[in-house]
Amino acid sequence: MDRVLGWLLRQAEVTPSYHQERCLATKATGCRICAEVCPHEAIVVRRRVEIDPIDCTGCGICVTACPSQALTPRGAQAPSDVALRCSEIGGNAPSVICLARLTPTDLLRLSDAAGTVRLGRGACHDCRIGSAEVPERLEAAAAKAREIAHVLGRALRVDVEVTESLDVERYERTLSRREMLRGSTTGVKRVTASALAPLEKLAGIDEDDAARDRPALPPDWLDTLRLLAQADLDPGTLVPVRLPHVIDGCLLCPACTAACPTDAIQRRFEDDGSTTLWLEPQRCVGCDACEQVCPVDVVVMDAHVTWERLDQERTVLAARAGSGPSGTTAR
């Protein structure tokens, strides 16, 4: 009986998954954003983030606010449909606990052939699950999704309805036995793939990263990279990401490498005595930690980044020859 009860509790658990290796609070940055935005005071930041499973409603506000994506929604992805409602309103449309949980790539996946997403929510200002901040968080996710869609040459329109019910049309017709059998097989494959995909996304670890014991990249960031990589972009295309560069005066100290939540910045000591600071662009989630902790303020985050720059395996941020005290930088 205890095993069954434990299983049921795990299925009902709505607290986000916490990835301590990506958490800026553990890297001496003073980050407390998740605790500050939580409308239910369910989060305490000490040496790590602690989430009270009783007070947490699963609204997802902390997830979308976390700059390093150390918090991710627990469980499967949002349903793949063109209409979605929050759990506080009725209707036959698929639902999620709260629309604040939706990421930009969730919205892209939800859009129909014309690029439209239809969302339904209740009155957020007095909601027992979310808060008055939910519409703002949802619009931020929609704005990011539109940026990605623009780069991909797609249209995206997110229609949000404040309503008591959201319904979608369901088409029914009589199927032959052959169609039913064929559909059942296809359905099983589709359900299996849908069930496994979120688990792979939540794991977020490839074999190389596991072998090197590097932090797993956030699922939404991996989805964004996949979408951009599949679009066959021109090298000069601006992409909606932020990357750091280093100006003159870098001390080549370990501050930025220690603060980086995804191990995107690395310091290398060469055999000739030189030191080099490297960036792996596709591991950078644009959290600003490196800029915040730099003791000489020489790290600058760029908002205008080309696909060519993001697609590089690694780039040099700063370098110092073995015999010289000054650093040279590259962008």
- Which class is domain 234-329? alpha beta
Residue 170: what pLDDT? Answer: 58
Band (169; pLDDT cuts 50, 70, 90): confident
Lowest mean pLDDT across 17-26, 156-165, 219-228, 314-323:
314-323
The reported pLDDT for the residue numbered 305 is 97
pTM, two decimal places: 0.77
Question: What does the pLDDT average to over 256-284?
Answer: 94
What is the per-residue pLDDT for 206? 45
More confident residue, 5 or 98: 98
Which whole-number Å values give the CA distances from 63 to 66, 69, 188, 254, in the listed order?
Answer: 6, 7, 31, 28
Cβ proximity of 293 and 63 under 8 Å: no
Provide mean pLDDT across the span 64-82: 80
Tokens of 217: 């990249």
Quote the pLDDT of residue 183: 41
168: its two tokens:
């979608």
pLDDT digits (tens, 9 = 90+) for 222-237: 999 999 999 999 999 9
**SS (HEC) of the chain:** CHHHHHHHHHHHCCCCEECHHHCHHHHCCCCCHHHHHCCCCCEEECCCEEECCCCCCCCCHHHHHCCCCCEECCCCCCCCCCEEEECCCECCCCEECCHHHCCHHHHHHHCCCCCEEEEEECCHHHCCCCCCCHHHHHHHHHHHHHHHHHHCCCCCEEEEEECCECCCCCCCCCCCHHHHHHHHHHHHHHHHHHHHHHHHHHHCCCHHHHHHCCCCCCHHHHHHHHHHHHCCCCCCCEECCCEEEECCCCCCCCHHHHHCCCCCEEEEECCCCCEEEEECHHHCCCCCHHHHHCCCCCEEEECCEEHHHHCCCCEEEEEECCCCCCCEECC
Q: For the chain, what is the mean pLDDT? A: 83
Query: Where do the domains of the chain lie?
Result: 12-72, 76-170, 171-232, 234-329
Assess if CATH 3.40.50.2300 describes domain 12-72.
no
Q: Are residues 256 and 241 in contact, defined by beta-carbon separation less than 8 angstroms? A: no
pLDDT in tens, 27-59: 878 899 999 999 999 999 988 999 999 999 999
Contact criterion met (CB below 8 Å) for 66 and 45? no
Task: Identify the pLDDT of residue 181.
Answer: 44
Interatomic CA distance for residues 254 and 28, integer angstroms? 13
Residue 131 has pLDDT above 90, yes or no: yes
213: pLDDT confidence band, cut at 50, 70 and 90?
A: confident
β-strand 83-86 against 95-96: which pairing, if any? Answer: parallel
Distance from C-alpha of 162 to C-alpha of 275, rounded to nearest angstrom = 57
Provide the pLDDT confidence category of residue 300 given band limits of 50, 70 and 90: very high
Tell me how far apart the alpha carbons of residues 84 and 73 are, in angstroms, rounded to a whole number: 16
pLDDT band at 187 (very low <50, low <70, confident <90, very high): very low
- Decide if 12-72 and 234-329 have a common fold: yes
The rounded percent of the chain whose pLDDT value lies above 90 is 70
Residues 243, 279: contact at Cβ < 8 Å?
Answer: yes
pLDDT at 261: 95
273: left (phi over 0), alpha (psi -120 to 50) or beta: left
